[in-house]
Structure 1
Amino acid sequence: MHTLCSFTTNLAITTANTNSMANSLFSLPFHEPVVVFCITLLVILIIPFVFSKFKLPGIIGLILAGMLLGNSGFNILESEGSIELLGNVGLMYLMFLAGLELDMNTFVQNRNKNLVFGFLTFAIPFITGFWVCRQFLNYDLLPSLLISSMFSTQTLIAYPIVSRLRLTKTEPVGIAIGGTIITDTIVLLLLILIIALHNGESSTNYWLFLTGSIAVYMYFILFIFPRITRWFFKNTSTDIIAQYVFVLSMVFLAGTLAKFINLEPIIGAFLAGIVLNRQIPHSSTLMSRVEFIGNAIFIPIFLVYVGMLIDLKAFISGWESLKLSLILIFFAISSKWLAAYLTQKIFLYKTIERQLIFGLSTAHAAATIAIILIGYKMGIVDINVLNASVVVIFASCIVSAFVTERTAKKIVLKETPHQYEQEKVEKIIIPVSNTTNILPLIEFANFSKIQNKKSPIYILNVVKDENEISTKLAKNIENISVSTEIPAEFIARMDINISSGIVRASKEIMASKIIMGWNGNYSTREWIFGTILEGVLRDSRQPIYVVSIKKPIHNINNIQIIVPPLAEFESNFRGWLTSMHNFAKQISAKIVFNVLRDYQESFSNALIANNLKFKYQTEVYNDWYSSFDTLSQKSENSLIVAISARKGSISHTSRIEIIPRLVSKKLKDKDFIIIYPAQPETTSIDTRAFLSGTGQVNIEEQGQIV
């Protein structure tokens, strides 16, 4: 009886403990580290993905998600504990990348002009901001100084745009980079003064001690750090993991030493980035890993953390945050424009060059959010300023991207010659998964080849496991090669992702052209999760031909090519023209270019400039969309070719992106080809690189335009 009572008592206690743990686990806000980290990872996975589908910045999505998750939203997570720790790590990482990705070589080349613009882009916004805060907003000295510092910061959010358009070595871009280095450095030094005044430090002894400490600290960071880094990299050249851990250790060592002398750790992280800038090549594996981990984990968590600190209720219900946002946006952007305007007048730049400098320098992101967050935590500024700063970041980044892209394209259109070199050697790769419709792809590849007819066409099969390699497919390709006398070679690659397998194989064989088949179907699932084609387009630079030829290829007697505006300014313009001319010549088909009326003269001049002497006809349209409707009524012996463009290229527009859907809707039953011209190797940009500045992951500059 005693044993039974004891068992019953223990069971009751166990049940009570289990219920207590369950209640604790599922009560809001969540405190269990595994649950907290799971929710956070799901947010940084899903939110940028969803926002990108609607052409909205992922940075804003993460901050909004943090607002909804925090205390002022649905109170799902607390802004303390593990989130706070990882958020602070993300802040350090953000400032480190901001320093690491700045191009110090460009700064040295135009030192004097960089110093002038750096001074103007700091002083004019700072003076403007201080006057606005004191006269309009009636803030005290310290909040005015902090908000004025925020006006002076700038982040090269729009750098990937000029990189893709091959303008990175132009003088306006170099000056914008140099100005960013100078103004952000001055702002961080000014932050030291603001924090000291906030702490009530005003004695002469304190300032003498602080000055001496900063001098010793700067000497250690600028001269000792590089020596330690060079020695470590020299002795661990093959251990990439140790190198990454070393870099991270140096960043937080710089932050820790800064903390010891009463400086903010982000100052140390920024200086560490500048010092390690020349030690880590921008195209190295180490640089890729440093940026990948930061942009994938730490910086997104930091943005979520920032959102959790924002008072959503005050932002929605109060007029104060909205009014403050409008005031700060107007003066922050206009003061940056004034700095660019004075720089134009001093150095006699053209108006278009001034606009490019303004576009690159007007975005407020990395340093802005860092100093405002520090000021909020210290009580220097209130929640309304933090709320307004997020809106400033959003607005300034949109203005920066819009102005930079519009101006950069004008520069390219004005200066780019119409004559391009064609490929000297051509290696074609055709990814396939089954034996269906392989023959039309191989025939098109063979007929459109430019030179080197003896080189084989590579037929690629990407599988997840070696057991999935199709011997039937290999045998079928061999039979086709023998019967058609077209040299074809079967190759297989193993990869968990088909698109990445295609890209990897293309790099390994140094393919000059990728030809892919498509049945014309475009589902909702593919719109949400993306297609194999989108993955290949994102990670490759070769021209891609999406081919759907259903009838015997020799039955085609005319080729209707839909040419979008500005296609003649792309560097691969001659490449696809020559390919289609060779194809038409082999099958004795005529070529008809369908061009918008406003761009007919420019297109014709480009054909003349490239010495492309073949017979063709031109159909003129007033509306780009109507050409698809007209061509859908063409005879069954017509091949319809739509020239598309990659994101960031000179001819890319939002309407270009709907070509697959237009083709699927209007031309699905026709023979068609979609051509994505080659994108010159400039900068491989991670779409999740939220705030880190230049996004220079893999730089291989080729022919500069100006």
Structure 2
Amino acid sequence: MNGNLTFLLDIAIILIFANLGGFLSRKIKQPAVLGQIIAGLVIGPAVLGIIEESSAISHMAEIGVILLMFIAGLETDIDDLKASSKSSALIALGGVVVPFVLGFLALKLAKPSATTNEGLFLGVILTATSVSITVQALRELKKLRTKQGVGILGAAIIDDVAGIIILTVIIGMISPTESSNILLVLGKIALFFILSMAFGIIFSKFLTKHSEFICRENRLLTAALIFCFSLAFIAEELGVAAIIGAYFTGVIFSTTPHRNRVSHEIQRISYALFTPIFFINIGLGVKFNNVSGVIGISIVIILASVLGKLIGCGIGSKLSGFNNRESLQISIGMIPRAEVALIVTNLGLSMGIIGNDIFTSIILTVLVTTIITPPMLKLAFDDKEKESKRKLVKKM
């Protein structure tokens, strides 16, 4: 077979195992995303080695997460997002400060020889939140539109922006020649949000005015994809994650009369092909090389990453007026680390700030936090539903 086309067979195998993993996961009453990630782990280099990472699969996985966040934006009520801005800020503040401090202290505890620079950089890595895993789990649980779901999405956006700013400051302290000017970074972030709002208002009015023309054939879907990918690219270029650009595209489309149609059509192509590849690709990226030598430091960092979000976001949620159960649900939703954490980790390794021991530990942290979040979310929400049913039965 032509070597350039072997990725077609890889995609076929990935889709088979993604559907099988999702089916088995639902059978044991867990979100399908958990089964898909584990399926990727099984067929990847870590276990069977059937599929290797490739640029083609990685690019399709990137489209998958962008479409997933676009769908999340479509399902967000903009009024709810505005109303939750204060609570999201408090949740994000706790979710940045506590993991940063715990990360620094954890490294000093597990690796006394670690430098202050290593500790600070690990703290930055642990502030990141990968909301894409949580979004899919909440969608399957039908909890994405709850006030907890909206709070998580808002806090995750603020987390990413805060993480970029802290990263710029830390790199400026460690290696000034490598750092962008902090004011330039802030200016780029502000420019992105200004452009998003401006484009959103213009595009929304255009869609409403030319509704009949846009809705013919597949023009609406094409227009949505063009806008989504363009804003995702602009976000990445201006130093904000592409998934935030995709999310804001969805929020913009949610204000138009075409919200339901766009959501339906995007979901069809996303869940049939791109999103399963994204979750499988997470498992494909895991390799267990040199794990035995860093197991101690890995356990400490994993605990710091999980407890950091549980404590920090839990405190922020409580201060925002959420009850204990809701605060737990929100803090669990903020646990996963993936794209941003890996990007920052690779940067630290390339700059010589962190070593291979921390790099391997972060890979394990990404794997563990990604796998434990969906079942923990289901347990947290299921308990609440069971409690409500018990109260209802008692009243009867």
Q: TM-score if structure 1 supplies the norm length? A: 0.47
Aligned partners of 1:257, 1:122: CA distance in 2, in Å?
25
Distance 2:183 2:319 in 1: 40
Match of 1:48 in 2: 22
Cα distance in 2, alignment partners of residues 354 and 57 from structure 1: 23
User: Which amino acid is 1:328 matched to?
Assistant: I
Aligned match of 1:291 in 267, 288, 295? 267
- CA distance in 2 between counterparts of 1:123 and 1:154 reads 22
Name the residue aligned to 1:300.
Answer: 276
- Alpha carbons of structure 1 residues 243 and 135: separation in structure 2 relative to 1, 3 Å: farther
Structure 2 letter corresponding to 1:50: L
Q: Deviations over 1:606-642 (max 9, x none)?
A: 4xxxxxxxxxxxxxxxxxxxxxxxxxxxxxxxxxxxx
Q: CA 1:218–1:106 in 2, change beyond 3 Å: closer, same or farther?
A: closer
Other-structure match for 1:310: 286
Which of the residues 374, 386, 399 maps onto 2:376? 399
In structure 2, distance between residues paired with 1:36 and 1:346: 46
Verify the 8 A CA contact 1:47 1:62 in the aligned structure 2: yes
State the shift of 1:87 in Å: 1.7
Given candidates 230, 248, 254, the residue that maps to 2:225 is: 248
RMSD: 3.8
Unaligned runs of 5+ in 2: 350-357
Q: Which of structures 1 and 2 has the larger relative contact order (alpha carbons within 8 angstroms, sep 6+)?
A: 2
Q: Give, in whole Å, the separation in 2 of the partners of 1:262 and 1:338.
A: 25
Q: Does 1:155 align with 2:134?
A: yes
Distance 2:369 2:96 in 1: 17
Query: Which of these residues, 332, 350, 354, is aligned with residue 324 of structure 2?
Result: 354
Q: Choose between structure 1 and 2: higher strand proportion.
A: 1
Note the alpha carbon deviations across 1:57-110, whole angstroms, 9 max, x for none: 432332233233334444333312321221222232334344443343224345
Aligned equivalents of 1:301, 1:108: Cα separation in 2: 33
Give the match's secondary structure for 1:90.
helix
User: Which amino acid is the alignment partner of residue 291 of structure 1?
Assistant: Q
Q: Is the 8 A contact 1:280 1:286 kept in 2?
A: no
- Report matched runs for 1:585-664 at 5 Å: 606=396
1:554-597, CA deviations, whole angstroms, 9 ceiling, x for partnerless residues?
xxxxxxxxxxxxxxx5xxxxxxxxxxxxxxxxxxxxxxxxxxxx
Q: Structure 2 counterpart of 1:86, which letter?
A: M
1:369 equivalenced with 2:338 (yes/no): yes
Task: Work out which of the two has the higher radius of gyration on C-alpha atoms and give 1 or 2.
Answer: 1
Alpha-carbon distance between aligned partners in 2 of 1:128 and 1:280, rounded to the nearest angstrom: 46
Matches within 5 A, 1:404-553: 404-414=381-391, 416=392
Pair 143,129 (structure 1): closer, same or farther in 2 beyond 3 Å: closer
CA separation in 1, counterparts of 2:50 and 2:132? 33
1:387 match: secondary structure = helix
User: 1:101-180 alignment to 2 at 5 Å?
Assistant: 101-109=75-83, 112-136=86-110, 138=114, 139-150=118-129, 155=134, 157-158=137-138, 161=141, 173-174=146-147, 176-180=148-152
The letter for the 2-side match of 1:357 is: S
Q: Unaligned stretches of 5+ in structure 1? A: 1-20, 417-568, 570-601, 607-706
Q: 1:102 to 1:324 in 2, by over 3 A?
A: farther
| Residue 273 in structure 1 maps to residue 247 in structure 2 | no
Cα distance in structure 2, aligned partners of 1:290 and 1:267: 17
Task: Name 1:85's counterpart in structure 2.
Answer: 59
Name the structure with the higher helix share.
2
Taking the aligned partners of 1:354 and 1:154, their CA distance within structure 2 comes to 23
Indicate which of 384, 393, 403 corresponds to 2:361.
384
CA distance in 2: counterparts of 1:82 and 1:159, whole angstroms: 27
Opposite residue 22 of structure 2, the aligned amino acid is: P
Cα offset, 1:134, TM superposition: 4.8
Whether the 8 Å contact between 1:67 and 1:307 is mirrored in structure 2 is: yes
1:326 and 1:404, CA in 2 relative to 1: closer, same or farther beyond 3 A? Answer: farther
Q: Name the CA distance, whole Å, in 2 between partners of 1:261 and 1:342.
A: 28
Match of 1:188 in 2: 160
Identity in percent: 16
Q: Deviation at 1:281?
A: 6.3
The Cα shift of 1:145 comes to 0.5
TM-score calculated relative to the size of structure 2: 0.78
Q: Is contact 1:322–1:388 with CA below 8 Å preserved after alignment?
A: no
1:66: which partner in 2?
A: 40
Do the aligned partners of 1:333 and 1:396 also contact (CA within 8 Å) in 2? Answer: no
1:226 shift after superposition: 3.2
State the alpha-carbon separation in 2 of the partners of residues 106 and 49 from structure 1: 33
Change (3 A) 1:376 1:72: farther
